[in-house]
Amino acid sequence: MIDISKARLVHLRWLLQLEKRIRHESAPTLESCRTCELGKWIYSEALEKYSAYPEISFLEKRHRHFHETADILVKLFGDRNFVEAEVALDELKRDSQDLIFMLTMFEYRYTGFNEAS
């Protein structure tokens, strides 16, 4: 089981670092949605082990979309398409909020389920 509190913090820190780097025109190297820490957990354990929780399926979709949007964002900034990049950054921040919400909801439901057992 992933440490969800840590996952939320790592995710937020990663998003802040990404924004800082692109604003300073330093193109970051991005991991795929399967190789980042959260992705490793989702694809190696969560989708199968926690499939009864609808949050996991939504988390996987939002996480994949988050990485796709991050790739687009980096390309747009690299191409100096700053207006479109700002739109992508806003979308990335919304995706980030969704991810954190889904992690929190899963944590709440999973913890509540275990306490009731």
CB atoms within 10 A of CB 19: 15
Mean pLDDT of 28-46: 89
Which pLDDT value is given to residue 78? Answer: 86
Write down the pLDDT at residue 117: 45
| Cβ neighbours of residue 92 closer than 8 Å, sequence gap 6 or more | 15, 18, 66, 69, 70, 73
Spatial distance between the Cα atoms of 22 and 42, rounded to a whole number of angstroms: 27
Give the pLDDT confidence of 80-113 residue by residue, as tens digits: 898 999 999 999 999 999 999 999 999 998 887 5
* Per-residue pLDDT at 7: 85
